[in-house]
């Protein structure tokens, strides 16, 4: 998803990225594999049903619904737990404070901590 969004940002002015329906269809086209074909087909079917029931191709609803579904299906539920363990094991090595801080910031972001936590 990160790679697709970066590609979208580089090509935001192209019609396929400006229309949410086409943007989702394009993204679904790049999700490949036997284990995900049913999921991508279901996403396309739902989006087509939304259009049949009156949602326009230009409604951001298509992208928002797809993004929620994608995040639900592709979220690694163990990632937060694994990240917590990595934070606990994190140590500064050879006085390299910059690497320690960068790694800590990355891990706390992955774990879902905000600066106010």
pLDDT tens string 25-59: 999 999 998 888 999 999 999 999 999 999 999 99
| Helices H / strands E in the chain, number of each | 7, 0
Residue 117 has pLDDT above 90, yes or no: no
Q: Sketch the domain layout of the chain as residue ranges.
A: 2-74, 79-111
Q: For 98-116, write each residue's pLDDT tens digit.
A: 988 898 888 887 777 766 5
CB-CB contact of 89 with 63 (8 Å): no
pTM of this structure: 0.66
Distances (CA, A) of 116 to 91, 96, 112, 113: 23, 26, 11, 8
| Alpha carbon distance 37, 55 (integer Å) | 24
Backbone angles phi, psi at 114, to 5 degrees: -110, 160
Q: What distance in Å separates the CA atoms of residue 106 and residue 104, rounded to the nearest whole number?
A: 5
Q: Are 25 and 44 in contact (CB under 8 A)?
A: yes
């Amino acid at each position: 998803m990160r790679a697709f969004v970066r590609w979208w940002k580089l090509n935001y002015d192209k019609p396929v990225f400006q229309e949410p329906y086409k943007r989702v269809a394009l993204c679904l086209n790049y999700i490949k594999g036997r284990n995900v074909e049913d999921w991508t087909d279901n996403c396309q079917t739902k989006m087509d049903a939304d259009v049949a029931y009156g949602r326009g191709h230009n409604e951001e609803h298509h992208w928002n619904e797809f993004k929620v579904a994608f995040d639900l299906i592709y979220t690694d539920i163990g990632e937060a737990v694994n990240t917590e363990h990595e934070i606990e094991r994190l140590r500064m090595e050879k006085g390299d404070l910059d690497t320690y801080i960068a790694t800590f910031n990355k891990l706390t972001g992955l774990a879902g901590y905000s600066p106010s936590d």
